[in-house]
Structure 1
């Protein structure tokens, strides 16, 4: 059924601006909606609806940075009938309102999150570990603790580090978290293109002051992963691709 899931992902990426439903997606691959929901979630880790939302908001991020369209126009272009609903969802999953996202530079986004996120209530713990790669030259990597398997919203703790290399996430509130890491490969003389590398480990339980060591291996972003939305992680929105 991987073919059906891949076809569904392609359809979402091509028709994200339309009012797609689970029934529409299931009809396109000629299976029941319940079967599609099961296999899609197993392959991608999220439901078709959540994947669609991530694709819509990724395109909204790109339009906010690359065009002068109003928030209302962008909202309509990416499939929302209500600007208010779009703004609430964007703010929840990106970590900034559409207006803030457009106005702030990437460095300002990080400073804003560092300054405005409330200090975690005690007790907290630490997450440490090592990032591994396949040997490709990388820019610095970002690592963060999130409350979702999707890379969205504002992390409870994050840091920049070298990849490969060690990382530390301080003052992570006790509880269950997903540790996400992202990096770009460096341009080379043979290619100016930068590949996006990602990794997710979790759920990870943080309890007490003893560091929780992890080994995380970055690998290229593939078609099964929903787009990255969190502004905190410093990844520029990428063009939509099948």
Structure 2
């Protein structure tokens, strides 16, 4: 069944601007839509609709950084008929409005010393939780055989790395991390970094590494440390949407 999901992901990445529906995708792999929904969610961790939205917004991020198109034109290019709906969804998923994302991303990448985007984003600071309702998440990061410097780790409310984290920190791999003052509840712990294989001398390109651990139940007492291993992104993972990492949006590719 995995090859059928991969075919559906290819269709999403190649035709994301079209009004694709669950029925369209299920028919493309000749499965009932309910069976397709279960199989797709099991392989990718998200529904086809959420994967499609992530791909659309990833392309919107790229267009905002690499073209002079206005927000309405970007919205139309990625398959939204309403600029208002696009702006709301983009803001929820990226943590900044399209206009803020373009302005702060360009400033962070072109300013003196090229400061990291995360440090230029006041909007990524989660609101302080109520007193007495927080816990912490600790763990160890691994990246076997890959050279990794900064790793962004955060507690997010879903399986897609999007929006504003409840708590985040920077760490190294291999190394320990701590997320402090995480509100009690259920969270997904996402880690993302850029890395390069030490044996790869083919150029300056660095691969995107990530890991997702969860759902994790956070309580006032610290739970058992998590053991998280980063690996290169593959076709099963939806694009990273949050602006927290400061990573440039990757080109869409099947």
TM-score of the two chains, using structure 2 as the length reference: 0.90
Report the more deviating stretch, 31-40 or 205-214.
205-214
Contact 1:130 1:165 in 2 (8 A): yes
Report the more deviating stretch, 202-211 or 72-81.
202-211
- Partner Cα separation in structure 1 for residue 141 and residue 123 of structure 2: 23
Match of 1:172 in 2: 182
1:223 has 2:235 as partner: yes
1:49 has 2:49 as partner: yes
- Partner Cα separation in structure 2 for residue 211 and residue 38 of structure 1: 31
The CA deviation at 1:237 is 0.6
Match of 2:128 in 1: 119
Contact 1:139 1:186 in 2 (8 A): no
Q: Secondary structure at the match of 2:46?
A: coil
Q: Secondary structure at the match of 1:138?
A: strand
The CA deviation at 1:210 is 2.8
Report the more deviating stretch, 203-212 or 122-131.
203-212
Which consecutive residues of structure 2, in runs of 5 or more, have no partner in the other structure? 109-115
- Partner Cα separation in structure 2 for residue 99 and residue 109 of structure 1: 16
The CA deviation at 1:172 is 0.8
Instruction: Summarize the alignment of residues 1-242 of structure 1 with structure 2, pairs less than 5 Å apart.
Output: 1-105=1-105, 106=108, 107-113=116-122, 116-122=125-131, 123-186=133-196, 189-210=201-222, 212-242=224-254
TM-score of the two chains, using structure 1 as the length reference: 0.95
The CA deviation at 1:167 is 0.8
Contact 2:124 2:244 in 1 (8 A): no
Which consecutive residues of structure 1, in runs of 5 or more, have no partner in the other structure? none
- Partner Cα separation in structure 2 for residue 191 and residue 69 of structure 1: 31
Cα 1:40–1:115 change in 2 (3 A) is: closer
